[in-house]
Amino acid sequence: MDATETPEITRTPPSARQRTVAPGPGLLHALGLTALLVSEWARRHARSAGESELALDPYLREVARTSADLADAGFYRFVADLFDTLCLGQPRLGLWAAVYVAIVVRLNRRGPHRLQNVLSRLAATYCLLGYLTLLPVLIPLDAGFFLLPGICAAAVWLVTR
């Protein structure tokens, strides 16, 4: 080899397992986990408050205002309708299932990698749709809107690394 020639660098393509647990799907899985946790918290919060408290609760008022604002956006309506269609009227159950599948696939190192990759991608897509659909519940959290996905991403990474 001459001084002017540079050696060829050959990259090996990532394996199916590496694509399954890649940061991209992991971030989307974390967004799904965030949406799931916040929606469950908001559901319990609304259920535990009485009717008079619900009318005065600033968080729930902000959720209603944000929901009304986003309902005017065409993109949000499209995503919400798509999510509702995909979840067959059971959005809570669907989000639980997507997060569960994502975690199980990320933990199972010995399973069929191609199938796991497909399941990981489907769960990631569903988690993203769930997160976008639940924006009215997430936006009023102020700093938590940015902090909670980071915490969930760290948890997903720590649990499934």
**Residue 20 predicted with pLDDT over 80:** no
Determine phi and psi for 85, rounding to 5 degrees: -65, -45
32-58, pLDDT tens digit by residue? 999 999 888 888 877 776 666 666 778
What pLDDT sits at residue 52? Answer: 65
For the chain, give the mean pLDDT.
81
Question: Under 8 Å CB-to-CB from 41, ≥6 apart: which residues?
Answer: none
Are the CB atoms for 32 and 134 separated by under 8 Å? no
Closest CA to 149 of 40, 38, 62, 14: 38
102-123, pLDDT tens digit by residue? 888 888 888 888 888 888 899 9
- Residue whose tokens read 């959005």: 91
What pLDDT sits at residue 4? Answer: 65
Q: How confident is the model at residue 76 (pLDDT cuts 50, 70, 90)?
A: confident
